[in-house]
Structure 1
Amino acid sequence: MNGSRNGNFNLKNKIIENMVPIIFVAFTLLGFAVSSGVPLSYFLSELSSRFFRNAFLVLSLVIPVIAGLGLNFGIVVGAISGQIAIAIVRYFYLEGLTGLLLCFAIAAPIAAFFGWLTGKLYNKTRGQEMIASLIVSFFANGIYQFLFLFVVGVIILVPATHPMIKPDGVGIRMSVDMGKLKYALESILEVPFMWAVLVVCVAALVFMLLRHFKKKQELTKNKKINFYIRIGVFSVLAVISIISIITGNSLMSVRDVPAATAVLIALLCLFTSWIMKTKLGQDFRSVGQNQYIAGTNGIDVDKTRIIAVIMSTVFASWGQIIYLQNMGTLNTYGAHNQIGMFSVAAILVGGASVSKATVGQALLGTILFNSMFIMSPEIGKALFGQAILGEYFRTFMVYGIIGMALGLYVWKANRASKLTIDPDALSESTGRSAWITIPTPPDSSSSSGTRTN
């Protein structure tokens, strides 16, 4: 299918751009097709629980991508900051919502300091930020283990009788019970799942329609198709939720939605969207697109990049606290290890890339990635007779998707470069001739451009 100008719809390009999300949707549908023992209510319950547990962490990756820092595997540093805050709060037996808020307050300055150091490092390793972020996560893990295995008990004296401390009085136990910090957010208010779906769908429909009618300019064909697809999806979901509420079918047994956690996720989404409309947000975009041009326009490139890393690290620390209070147990030396890898994989699944990410892609990626996690054991059991093979397949998918996304990014960049320098390739791609503008003297009556095939 040949593309056309003015943003017209191109099915081939759409499929290429959304290859990773399409693969995960197909994988989830395959799971339902080959495994008959997975009720939809169970799938939605697990998906809801995992989504609200992980979404905040995935959203923390959006700003660094926009600022040109790529995929920030260094959010592990933020997760470690959150765990340090939890350890401090649990040591002093602070519990409930008060203890959780104190965790947020303690984690913020720790994460901001670590984020500042990480941002300084990224500025020294310009162009290699993703590799640097991986090394930072390994280095931070070593410092963290030294702190909790040796410093606590040897340098910072603690009583050996404390339930967090190992019997010999040196180091923190492998597993720490969260006490009444567990479900501190969930206990505030929980809303039936289908009611939550209905509220979200109605709010989304109202927002999209108001935004559509406020725009005076006519939408391109591509944007019209996207708009109608979104309207259709939210309308169908709203109708399904209304039917479920009226009839009381099995979907009403889906696990309730933690309203407080949902509000925090929504606030981070709104904050990310809002800040991109501010001067700082425009600086993020400018630096992400071209650091040299941003610098010549008076933007402090290094400072802007550091601010982006600090924000990401602080949000990651809060996301880890939300994650652990939902889990109910702090795996002291392992809870943070895969946070960076899984969060990066999730945002890539949503259609993001090394240079482009949105709030919608982060949320969609969280849904699709966790859908794969739920269905992979079922597929392994149905196809191979062993659910454990599905567990191995999870790891394969995580690293495979990261590799595939990076490969697609390089391929697209090379393709764009070829179209830029090769008019014949541009003509072949778009189905039209390329135009090269050649300046002419003011008194010349000839045409200002020459057409080439």
Structure 2
Amino acid sequence: MEKNAGKVVKSILISNIVPIVFFLLTLGAVLVAKIPPLFLLSEIARRLSRNTFLVLALIIPVVAGLGLNFAIVLGAMAAQAAMFFVVDWNITGLKGVLLSMLIAGVLSVFLGWLVGKTLNRAKGREMITSMILGFFANGVYQLIFLFFIGSLIPFSKTDILLPQGVGLRNTVDLYGVLDGALNNIWVVNIKFINFYMVPLLIVVGLCLFITFLLKTKLGQDFKAVGQDMHIARTSGIDVDKTRIIAVIISTVLAAIGQVIYLQDIGTINTYNSHEQIGLFSIAALLVGGASVRKASIWNAIIGVILFHALFVVAPSAGNKLFGQPQIGEFFREFVAYAVIAFALAMHGWRARKAKH
């Protein structure tokens, strides 16, 4: 009996090793930093409304067997491109945000289709392929917004262009245009903690949509393809088409998530805002206990809370321990990469153990 109980405990610990280690790390940083609890809760509440949508965008490809979709950065680029044009057209507030989502969604359907077609030619190597696609797309993005805007593509707002009139500035300010357009609709204040209800309700809506989708015929196809492509194909499922649909859904959701994220931030870092989206979203999902083959809504929510709690306290902890807050900044980046490496290593170890 004791042996069985020991095995169960060991199995639970091994299955949840990443969130457990990260929880202990975050708790240690919170104790060292001595940050006021209300401030920490306020920051976590804001980051839940700002970042959760992007993390949830990763779930469908994992269920469909495509692994961790680093190519969500293409959706983020589409969102930024849409927001640049909305700012140029001076469409403000909720109308501007909704138009940005619409344009970004249309662009993302096309980009997701291209990514899906490419990943179907790289079966078994989807994660590294999606990462390389992100780098390639970033090069195209830089070319368009550094050299084409203002020359081939007309732009009326010269204040967001570089001095020579070609290319966008490093930062585009959304203040007075799209800044807080969703956040400010409905704010609930509880003990000095602001809850931005509209973004939170959108996140809840996405959770319900994913839950519903996975119960439909398409959702069952995603699961079947994720478990075994050969068996799914012999069952009459169009495997390639199903995988493309999964990538398109993920890319469109990432585009909408990036619009939500940027209207909260209030500025667009033209050439860098999208770069860390894939890395930090994937790290947050893995911190919540997801793996390359399995991910759930709760993994995403727990991951956002733990990962961003550490993000908030790391600079203060670094300052207290070493006298330099910059060390905390470096530590945050290190942790993001380390979590992904550790989770992938654990996945490989479990797969090899199951095989033997």
- Normalised to the residue count of structure 2, the TM-score between the two structures is 0.97
Residue 167 (1) aligns with residue 145 (2): no
1:329 deviates by 0.6
Q: Name 2:9's counterpart in structure 1.
A: 11
Identify the match of residue 253 of structure 1 among 185, 192, 196. Answer: 192
- Once the two structures are superposed, residues 180-211 of structure 1 have per-residue CA deviations (whole angstroms, 9 ceiling, x without a partner) of 31000111101134xxxxxxxxxxxxxxxxxx
In the comparison of the two structures, how many residue pairs are matched?
354
Q: Measure the CA separation in 2 of the matches of 1:388 and 1:109.
A: 40
- Once the two structures are superposed, residues 124-151 of structure 1 have per-residue CA deviations (whole angstroms, 9 ceiling, x without a partner) of 1111000001101001101111111111
1:166 deviates by 2.0
Q: After superposition, where does 1:345-424 map in structure 2 within 5 Å?
A: 345-418=283-356
- Once the two structures are superposed, residues 341-387 of structure 1 have per-residue CA deviations (whole angstroms, 9 ceiling, x without a partner) of 00000000000000000011011101110011112122212222222
Q: Name 1:26's counterpart in structure 2.
A: 24
Following superposition, which runs of at least 4 residues in structure 1 exceed 3 angstroms of deviation?
Answer: 1-4
Q: Give the secondary structure class of the aligned counterpart of 2:172.
A: strand
CA contact (8 A) 1:158 1:169 kept: no
Q: Give the secondary structure class of the aligned counterpart of 1:153.
A: coil
Identify the match of residue 94 of structure 1 among 91, 97, 117. Answer: 91
Q: Give the secondary structure class of the aligned counterpart of 2:14.
A: helix
Q: After superposition, where does 1:322-341 map in structure 2 within 5 Å?
A: 322-341=260-279
Q: Give the secondary structure class of the aligned counterpart of 2:319.
A: helix
Q: Give the secondary structure class of the aligned counterpart of 1:69.
A: coil
Counterpart AA for 1:35: A
Identify the match of residue 124 of structure 2 among 112, 124, 127. Answer: 127
CA contact (8 A) 1:48 1:257 kept: yes
Residue 82 (1) aligns with residue 79 (2): yes
Q: Measure the CA separation in 1 of the matches of 2:31 and 2:153.
A: 56
Which structure's CA Rg is the greater one?
A: 1
Q: Name 1:70's counterpart in structure 2.
A: 67
1:120 deviates by 0.2
Q: Measure the CA separation in 1 of the matches of 2:183 and 2:352.
A: 47
**Cα 1:158–1:101 shift into 2, 3 Å:** closer
Q: Give the secondary structure class of the aligned counterpart of 2:160.
A: coil
Residue 149 (1) aligns with residue 134 (2): no
Gaps of 5+ in 2: none
**Cα 1:158–1:396 shift into 2, 3 Å:** closer
Residue 52 (1) aligns with residue 52 (2): no
Q: Name 1:186's counterpart in structure 2.
A: 183
CA contact (8 A) 2:150 2:167 kept: yes
Counterpart AA for 1:297: S
Counterpart AA for 1:165: L
Q: Measure the CA separation in 1 of the matches of 2:299 and 2:22.
A: 13
Gaps of 5+ in 1: 194-251, 419-453
Counterpart AA for 2:226: G
Counterpart AA for 1:389: I
Q: Give the secondary structure class of the aligned counterpart of 2:268.
A: strand
Q: Measure the CA separation in 1 of the matches of 2:84 and 2:155.
A: 13
Q: Measure the CA separation in 2 of the matches of 1:157 and 1:82.
A: 19
Q: Measure the CA separation in 1 of the matches of 2:188 and 2:203.
A: 15
Q: Measure the CA separation in 2 of the matches of 1:312 and 1:29.
A: 32
Q: Measure the CA separation in 2 of the matches of 1:260 and 1:363.
A: 17
Q: Give the secondary structure class of the aligned counterpart of 1:10.
A: helix
Q: Measure the CA separation in 1 of the matches of 2:165 and 2:102.
A: 28
Q: Measure the CA separation in 2 of the matches of 1:49 and 1:272.
A: 22
1:49 deviates by 1.4
Counterpart AA for 1:29: L
**Cα 1:336–1:102 shift into 2, 3 Å:** same
CA contact (8 A) 2:90 2:177 kept: no
Q: Name 1:230's counterpart in structure 2.
A: none
1:9 deviates by 8.0
Q: Name 1:315's counterpart in structure 2.
A: 253
1:164 deviates by 2.1
- Once the two structures are superposed, residues 61-110 of structure 1 have per-residue CA deviations (whole angstroms, 9 ceiling, x without a partner) of 00000000000000000000100110111110000011111111111110
Instruction: Please give the root-mean-square deviation of Cα atoms over the aligned residues, in Å.
Output: 1.4
